[in-house]
Amino acid sequence: MDEALLRSLTPGVLTVLVRRGADFAAAEDAVQDALVEAVRVWPADPPRDPKGWLVTVAWRKFLDAARADTARRRREDRVDEEPPPGPAPDVDDTLQLYFLCAHPSLTPASAVALTLRAVGGLTTRRIAQAYLVPEATMAQRISRAKRTVAGVRFDRPGDVATVLRVLYLVFNEGYSGDVDLAAEAIRLTRQLAARIDHPEVAGLLALMLLHHARRAARTAPDGSLVPLAEQDRGRWDTASIAEGVAVLQAALARDRLGEFQAQAAIAALHADAPRAAETDWVQIVEWYDELARLTDSPVVRLNRAVAVGEADGPRAGLAALAALDDSLPRHTAVAAYLHERDGDLALAARLYAEAAHRAPNLAERDHLTRQAARLNALRAG
């Protein structure tokens, strides 16, 4: 069974049903039922036209559900003519499906879940496993999302920026269980890039590829975090880096800079350095200046403070940090790092311990705790 093929066909099949008059929620349920049937039937009897087979079975599933629901009798009268078998239509509404699943009325969590199910073709169980929540919880989230977008017309223009934010959220979830969400986000972004000629789509794809290239070096064998400066660059995926840089260069050549292109440019500069000591921090600060201009994000300014500390020395980094709200996530950890670079080990150790207390996850907490212990050991020795 070619799971990749099934998942790649899912959005096209769903959009065919919607075009025929099925509402989104009912169409999505019918497509999921058809996918289950395909898993059961195809190994022994593979179809010559996989998409056509899925469309036919999904449409029948939809009609069966419509007939069983007396409250939908009026709709049944409208759609009860089953189209004759034949090749699936060539109309591809996948791009509109992206826009629908990233509708502004959805919460980010709901938009992510709906995108993974409707565009990505993942089952509710697999999405729940990826997010480490009960299947019933994820089912409720997806059902609410489908109800929210049920009345949204399919022919209205969507917001590319919202779609990209949803895909970036998927990517940042990384890997849990048997679903690699980072790889899934890259697959979906490739799919989007094939359907829309937009430099920010290319920028996001480049950013994902460049970050994902470092994945194998990000953790030690015991699962602990390895900071960028300490990573074994020989473990970085050079093919992904080369592809990411090429995609980025083509996007930047169009002279329509956006935040994902700027982030990708920073990642590319890190990837270009054979050793951490050879990183071009001056250029990275310049790109953070561009990114701050585009986003006015305090998180960007926090990261810029780190880059300034590397380019111009820790005192300059601390001066940039002083202009920011100290309640920002990771502010204390950045302060600890810069004070350590400046030679104040006692203050740095105390700040690392404080940052560990505020860490959002166990891996980061352990890393910061080890940093505090390392400095305390140095001071004691």
Residue that terminates a domain, selected from 61, 92, 123: 92
Instruction: Locate 202 and state its tokens.
Output: 């290319």
Of all helices (H) and strands (E), which one includes residue 370? helix 362-380
Total structural domains in the chain? 3
Instruction: Locate 160 and state its tokens.
Output: 């590319």
Q: Which amino acid is at 84?
A: P
Q: Is 157 found in the same domain as 70?
A: no
Q: Is 84 found in the same domain as 22?
A: yes
Residues of the domain holding 26? 1-92
Q: Is 110 found in the same domain as 80?
A: no
Neighbouring C-beta atoms of residue 239, cutoff 10 Å:
10
The answer to whether residue 185 is domain-embedded is no
Q: What is the pTM of this model?
A: 0.84
The answer to whether residue 270 is domain-embedded is no
Of all helices (H) and strands (E), which one includes residue 176? strand 175-176
Residue that terminates a domain, selected from 63, 92, 121: 92
What does the pLDDT profile of the chain (381 residues) look like in tens digits? 678 888 889 998 998 998 888 888 899 999 999 999 999 999 999 999 999 999 999 999 999 888 876 554 554 455 545 555 555 444 456 788 888 888 888 988 899 999 999 988 888 988 888 888 899 999 999 999 998 988 777 666 678 999 999 999 989 876 555 678 899 899 999 989 998 999 999 999 999 999 999 999 999 999 899 999 999 999 999 999 999 999 999 999 999 999 999 999 999 999 999 999 999 999 999 999 999 999 999 999 999 999 999 999 999 999 999 999 999 999 999 999 999 999 999 999 999 999 999 998 898 999 999 999 999 999 987
The answer to whether residue 218 is domain-embedded is no
Q: Is 86 found in the same domain as 29?
A: yes
The answer to whether residue 73 is domain-embedded is yes
The answer to whether residue 247 is domain-embedded is no
Residue that terminates a domain, selected from 92, 107, 127: 92
The answer to whether residue 204 is domain-embedded is no
Of all helices (H) and strands (E), which one includes residue 180? strand 179-180
Q: Is 341 exposed, middle or buried (0-12, 13-18, 19+ CB in 10 A)?
A: middle
